[in-house]
Amino acid sequence: MATITALAQPTETPIPTATPSAETSEAETALGGACFSVIQPQSGESLPKQGRVTFEWEEQPGAELYVMTFVDQNGNRATIETTETSTAKFIEILPAGGQYSWFVTAYGADGSEICSTTPITFTKPQGDPTPKPTKEPDPDYQPPEPTPEPTEDPTCDPCNVESSCYDPMLCEPG
């Protein structure tokens, strides 16, 4: 399960480097303080402006939660929380085109930060501008065909004994 937080205004928080936190877990100590790495997308990759993109990283021993952080060229941030080591998201969650950096921070079961990956950069093309409505009618517009009004069955005559809808109660005595 993943949670996404929308782009926020620039903050003064520095982008982390792949150095372990001061409080190292047992798993980290066993690995000599090594931090996991990003698998995809790789640094410098150009992503599409629309569609699903898979973000993937190595598993960090002792991690119970991963937080992906995206930073656009203006310093705006968006985060996604997940317990998995990959997630596929529509790239449209990052609305602006341009250069982004992203990194993943691993957290242990007690909620303490284990370490963060080295920031990786990628580019996303600018989106197409939204067309402005015009006052001129669209020359290709075809209005839908009107639905014909229901008509009575011409063979139905409630006063005709041979009719399929004969009903003597509806006829005047004659």
Structure confidence by residue, pLDDT tens digits, 158-168: 788 887 777 88
Torsion of CA 46, 106, 61, 44, to 10 degrees: 10
Whether pLDDT at 136 is above 90: no
Q: For 148, left (φ over 0), alpha (ψ -120 to 50), or beta? A: beta
Strand, coil or helix: 123:
strand
Indicate if the alpha-carbon torsion angle 117, 2, 48, 40 is positive or negative.
positive
Please state the pTM of the whole predicted model.
0.57
User: Which domains, ranges and CATH numbers included, belong to the chain?
Assistant: 2-124 (2.60.40.10)
- 3-class SS shares of the chain: helix, strand, coil, % to 5: 5, 30, 60
Distance CA 80, CA 90 (A): 12
Structure confidence by residue, pLDDT tens digits, 75-100: 999 999 999 999 999 888 887 788 99
Residue 151: per-residue pLDDT: 62
What is the DSSP pairing of strand 65-72 with strand 120-124? unpaired
